[in-house]
Structure 1
Amino acid sequence: MIRDILVNLAQGTDKDVACDFAASLAASFGAHLTGLAVAYEIDVPPFYMGALPTDFIDAQLLENQAASQKAAERFAACAAAAGVAHEVRSFSASLGVAANSFAEMARLFDLTVVAQPNPDQPGPEEVIAETVLMDSGRAVLIVPYVQTKPFTGERAVVAWDGSRAAARALAEALPLLHRTKQVEIFRVVTHMEDEDTAGPEVARHLARHGLAATVRKLPVSSGEPIAAAILNEVSDQGADLVVMGGYGHSRLREMVLGGVTREILATMTVPVLMAH
């Protein structure tokens, strides 16, 4: 069951889609909700320190602290309106330190919710989402920046490729899948006529958990984007949740995501539960 949810709180925007969605999830599961509000510090390279006036740095920090406080107050109001038990955790840190701290926190929560990066409003979301996905060891639920609906759980699509990451995502998604009305296992294959034993095996496994799932396979020619096939299936089926593995590795503290993962993160239109 999902009893303990963590959400990263957005700043500099009138609407926090991750906060709203996490509150609806917490209400649905009767879970406790924790919001993290960060007052971001300016991470200035040493050779630039002399070029930035001290009063500018101080003013920026005060502005960021005010934004963090506003995000915390908005979260408290949202959680109270949803009728869920909640708390706010706050601290000041650079983006890199904050992202790593958030990933460490996520290890002791049942589910972590973050917002999809909005290309029109650059912010910390991309670094936060990638770091918690790669380093927390837990599943992450990413909410599109265009999300308007609360958690409903009408139809879920499980993008299954048999990988370790997909298996972890499926296992951690089970509580969510139990709240859905329909579950589809979506398999991308090279040739439609090839026998698909993996899809039915996933369906068998879910049946043992009391979940009835259909299996659908779609042939994708060499070079055709897999991410596009997944997103088209989500649209065609009217799904409101995607479950899939997230791929990539950390190199010299730089997040390097696989092509499918990055494309999904950039173009997703419904919440996606990912695990690495």
Structure 2
Amino acid sequence: MTYKTIVAVLSAAEDTAKVTEHALALARTCGAHLIGIHAEVPVFMTLVAPMEYPDPSAVIALQERARLQTKEVEKVFRSLCERDDIPYEWRLFTGTAGYASIGVIESARSADLVVAGQFDPDFDGPTRADIEDLLYESGRPLYLVSNAPAGPAEIERVLVAWNGSRESARATFDALPFLLAAREVEIYSVDPPETALQSADMSGADIAASLSRHGVKVTVSPVASRGQSIEVLLNRRASETGAGLIVMGAYSHSRLRQRLFGGVTSAMMRDTRVPVLMSR
């Protein structure tokens, strides 16, 4: 199993190079075809004039800014792909839906892996809603590139956030190409529950055994949170072990509740220090 079609969703000129470099690194490793996608969202801004009409010159200027950004994103993406001699294609979609546009979602659904930039409230990049749309609507694993300054590097250690749920199982097997290539994989269970099959101390043993049969070198680490948030524990453990990737399920009882109250998924969208692969 490997990734043969990778979609890179590119939002702004400022993060295009970083997202593309990560996607290219994965494409080189897997021998994959890379599809770059940009969703150009028309900008509408109403400026109150004496007759209460929007200022057309201001609207035109904003639209031109969006078009110039699209050209810059495309230029950076194409130049990097041609430098690496990677088979690629470019797709542009225009509409008010952004990442939720039908073209973006359909393209993502046909890919083995979707790559996008991390949410950052201080940056003109993807919004949390954009990333949620990719997670919940595409049905494909999403590889989020961290805002940390480091560029793509060979992933030798992978941290799998495991709680025995459907989502964490989906994410683990979606990440199998990374796990097979890694020197070390750690199954990391925070406050593992007692189940009919396993005690809390043995949480993760079954998935570890399954991965071992694939040839994955895996260890299991059940830990107690002791009042600390899961996102803090995940980032700390990744830093301590030198993990280059965190794998986790994306959870939400309700998208509205997730946006209002947050959660581990939302926190990792914003605060992850290394790339994170999420599946829903």
Answer yes or no: is the 8 Å Cα contact 1:39–1:61 preserved in 2.
no
Ranges in structure 2 where 5+ consecutive residues have no aligned partner: 194-198
Structure 1 partner of 2:272? 268
Pick aligned residue for 1:59 from 58, 61, 69 = 61
Equivalents in 1 of 2:17, 2:160: separation in Å? 26
CA offsets 1:14-63 (integer angstroms, 9 cap, x no match):
76321110011111111000001232212569x99x54222222221122
Structure 1 partner of 2:246? 242
Structure 2 residue 42 is the aligned partner of structure 1 residue 41: yes
Equivalents in 2 of 1:251, 1:119: separation in Å? 19
Query: What does 1:75-114 align with in structure 2 at a 5 Å threshold?
Result: 75-94=77-96, 96-101=97-102, 102-114=104-116
Structure 1 residues 183 and 98: CA distance shift in structure 2, 3 A: closer
Q: In structure 2, what residue type is equivalent to 1:9? A: L
Answer yes or no: is the 8 Å Cα contact 1:190–1:220 preserved in 2.
no
What's the C-alpha RMSD, in Å, of the aligned pairs?
2.5
Equivalents in 2 of 1:14, 1:121: separation in Å? 9
Equivalents in 2 of 1:128, 1:40: separation in Å? 12
Equivalents in 2 of 1:195, 1:138: separation in Å? 30
Structure 1 residues 137 and 90: CA distance shift in structure 2, 3 A: same
Structure 2 partner of 1:232? 236
Pick aligned residue for 2:225 from 216, 220, 240 = 220
Q: CA deviation at 1:228?
A: 1.0
Answer yes or no: is the 8 Å Cα contact 2:98–2:130 preserved in 1.
no
Equivalents in 2 of 1:174, 1:146: separation in Å? 24
Identity among equivalent pairs (%): 30
- Partner SS, residue 150 of structure 1: coil
Structure 2 partner of 1:163? 165
Q: TM-score, normalised by structure 1?
A: 0.89
Structure 2 residue 203 is the aligned partner of structure 1 residue 198: yes
Answer yes or no: is the 8 Å Cα contact 1:131–1:255 preserved in 2.
no
Equivalents in 1 of 2:29, 2:261: separation in Å? 32
Q: CA deviation at 1:251?
A: 4.2
Query: What does 1:120-139 align with in structure 2 at a 5 Å threshold?
Result: 120-139=122-141
Structure 2 partner of 1:16? 17
Structure 1 residues 20 and 183: CA distance shift in structure 2, 3 A: same
Ranges in structure 1 where 5+ consecutive residues have no aligned partner: none
Structure (1/2) with the larger strand percentage: 1
CA offsets 1:129-165 (integer angstroms, 9 cap, x no match):
1210111111100001224232412100001001111
Q: CA deviation at 1:124?
A: 3.1
- Partner SS, residue 7 of structure 2: strand
More displaced, 32-41 or 243-252? Answer: 243-252
More displaced, 235-244 or 174-183? Answer: 174-183
Q: TM-score, normalised by structure 2?
A: 0.88
Q: CA deviation at 1:122?
A: 3.5
Structure 2 residue 157 is the aligned partner of structure 1 residue 152: no
More displaced, 134-143 or 195-204? Answer: 195-204
Q: CA deviation at 1:197?
A: 3.0
- Partner SS, residue 208 of structure 1: helix
The number of aligned residues is: 270
Equivalents in 2 of 1:241, 1:257: separation in Å? 26
Equivalents in 1 of 2:43, 2:105: separation in Å? 20
Q: CA deviation at 1:99?
A: 2.5
